[in-house]
Amino acid sequence: MIAGGVPLGAVLCNDKVRDTHGIHRTTFGGNPLAAAAGLAAIECMERHDLAEQARYKGEPLRAALEPRLPAVARELRQIGLMVGIELKQQAQPYLAQLMERGVFALPAGQTVIRLRPPLVITNEQLDTVADALIAVLTGD
């Protein structure tokens, strides 16, 4: 949520795309409240160095997962606390089992388990997530 819950969209593009002409309209484009909320949210992210916090907390999560991933996992992808575990089969049955263990995860496509824990998550909670994930993937 780029504007702390206030509807706001953002687009990143290169110079080639930026210089194309045309009309694109958006419901929230040019809205002063959304723009102010977006700026405030970005300033908060920078002031509290949230990207570094995500990277710092993501390192132990990767260390807890990567060496223990079973053969059903094809790849672990991660940026900070955003984790995607690509499986060799459908993710949905594993997502249901994780929910039964109190871990909320979402799919990213048909075969990827997506974890996006909040920055306020503790190391103990991250260990719980990693243990539950490994248990579900190994069938324990």
Structure confidence by residue, pLDDT tens digits, 123-136: 999 999 999 999 99
Whether the CB-CB separation of 132 and 95 falls below 8 Å is answered with: no
pLDDT of residue 81: 93
Is 124 in the same domain as 71?
yes
- The model's pLDDT over 7-20, given as tens digits with 9 standing for 90+, comes to 887 777 788 777 76
Is 126 in the same domain as 87?
yes
Region 62-77 average pLDDT: 94
pLDDT of residue 21: 67
Is 28 in the same domain as 68?
no
pLDDT of residue 31: 78
Q: In angstroms, how far is the first alpha carbon of the chain from the final one?
A: 36
Is 54 in the same domain as 42?
no
Higher pLDDT, 39 or 2: 39
Is 35 in the same domain as 60?
no
Q: What is the pTM of this model?
A: 0.76
pLDDT of residue 1: 64
Please report, for the domain that includes residue 118, its CATH number.
3.90.1150.10
pLDDT of residue 27: 65
In a domain, 4, yes or no: no
In a domain, 6, yes or no: no
Whether the CB-CB separation of 140 and 98 falls below 8 Å is answered with: no
Is 102 in the same domain as 127?
yes
Instruction: Answer whether residue 100 shows pLDDT above 70.
Output: yes
Is 39 in the same domain as 70?
no
Is 40 in the same domain as 54?
no
Region 96-118 average pLDDT: 95
Of 41, 54, 29, which is closest to residue 121 (Cα–Cα)? Answer: 54
Is 93 in the same domain as 29?
no
Domain count for the chain? 2
Instruction: Answer whether residue 6 shows pLDDT above 80.
Output: yes
**Which residue shows structure tokens 């799919």?**
107
Is 41 in the same domain as 73?
no
- The model's pLDDT over 20-64, given as tens digits with 9 standing for 90+, comes to 666 666 665 667 888 899 899 999 989 999 999 999 999 999 999
Whether the CB-CB separation of 79 and 105 falls below 8 Å is answered with: no
Region 67-72 average pLDDT: 94
Is 65 in the same domain as 105?
yes
Partners of residue 84 on adjacent β-strands: 77, 114
Is 37 in the same domain as 104?
no
For 71, the domain range is 50-138
